[in-house]
Amino acid sequence: SYPSILGGRVKTLHPKIFGGILNRQDNESDVAQMEEFDIPQIDLVIVDLYPFEKTVASGASEDDIIEKIDIGGISLIRAAAKNFKDTVIVPSMDEYSMLLNLLNEKNGETSLEDRKLFATKAFHVSSNYDTAIFNYFNTDDTYYKASISNGMTLRYGENPHQRGFFFGDFDAMFQKLHGKELSYNNLLDVDAAVNLILEFKENEPTFAILKHNNACGLATRSNMKDAYLAALAGDPTSAFGGVLIANGKIDKATAEEINKLFCEVVIAPSYDDDAVAILSEKKNRIILVQNNAELPEKQVRTCLNGLLVQDRNNVTDNKEHLKTVTDVVPTASEIDDLLFASKVCKNTKSNTIVLAKDNTLISSGTGQTSRVDALRQAIEKANSFGFSLKGAVM
């Protein structure tokens, strides 16, 4: 009885629509009012909300973003979900297949349990949508809201007796080409590997090997094969069962060398077809293509009965940050090695001492309660693998 008004801002907000959705079919008063006001019964509501988050991500103007705050759609979702006993709500295109399967399997009927499941998904969609809007407007750092979808059940947590889950959009970060399911510990190592490799320029072939979230091998060379071999030489013992990551394409020659090592995960932005075939010879080895997705600007972890939130550490040391305070001035190559070592140190568990030479991680003492012990550990490791520390930096 009313047209769409205010430039489309008001279309569905009408008693005949919301009455048809919210009426209780077993309530005599509701049934009588439906007849009195000639309100049609609505049993199925399907909504596709305005793409608010995509509009924000596109860099659109504030006016365009505001117009993509859906009012009627959210209201329809909440109304239908509230009355799930009598109404089916399909809150997004992601649930179309679920609805079609149910209708085909049950000849057009749904159970109360089915409708409650749709309602649960509906409130998830609406709460996620409102969180995104809040975060767009919020400028007060004392408020923190997050709504994360795409939960993934893991084989187990840190230990086999612990349940484990990952909440996030893994497919936005990686394409999985081969291998078993990722574990909780795999994901922690993958996260550490990605944070480390992002420190290095793509035009400088760099390879890293990580174990228990720390680099045990890292090197930059003129090609990826040499970078891998130099990284492996840093600690071939710890590399066993580790996570490997490159900042450039892995070719056949590099893959042949990697294939000699037992490793859990290999990550790179791209691979030669021959390289994928070689690395896939080990059926459980996980092969990931790293997409160009950005990491969150905030880091979050549980603490006591709450959360600790901080800005991501995006600062990488450069020559301007360095100040010589000794009589001996470092050479240009020593400065390069110091900056290389600083990137490793930044991404290694404290207390840590990093020894580097010729753009190679020689050794590190990691996670020690004393920096003196960390230094002793680093020196002992370097000596045990036959490295000369003459000319190395710390």
Catalytic residue check, 212: yes
Query: Residue 309: enclosing H or E segment and its boundaries?
Result: strand 306-311
Tell me the Cα Rg of the chain: 28
Annotated catalytic residue, options 11, 16, 82, 124: 82
What's at 307, amino acid-wise?
L
Show Cβ contacts of residue 147 under 8 Å, excluding neighbours closer than 6 positions.
127, 128, 131, 132
11, 14, 116, 212: which one is catalytic? 212
Q: How far is the CA of 360 from the CAs of 68, 138, 351, in angstroms?
A: 50, 44, 20
Residue 345: name the closest of 309, 313, 388 by CA.
313
Contact criterion met (CB below 8 Å) for 269 and 193: no
| Alpha carbons 380 and 386: distance in angstroms, whole number | 10
Give the separation between CA 52 and CA 68, rounded to whole angstroms: 5
**Residue 82 annotated to the active site:** yes
Q: What sign does the dihedral 128-130-131-132 (CA atoms) show?
A: positive
User: In the chain, which ranges are continuous DSSP H helix?
Assistant: 15-22, 28-36, 52-57, 62-67, 72-82, 96-105, 112-137, 170-173, 184-197, 224-234, 236-239, 252-258, 273-279, 332-346, 371-384
Pairing mode of beta strands 88-90, 44-46: parallel
Q: Which residues are marked as active site?
A: 82, 212
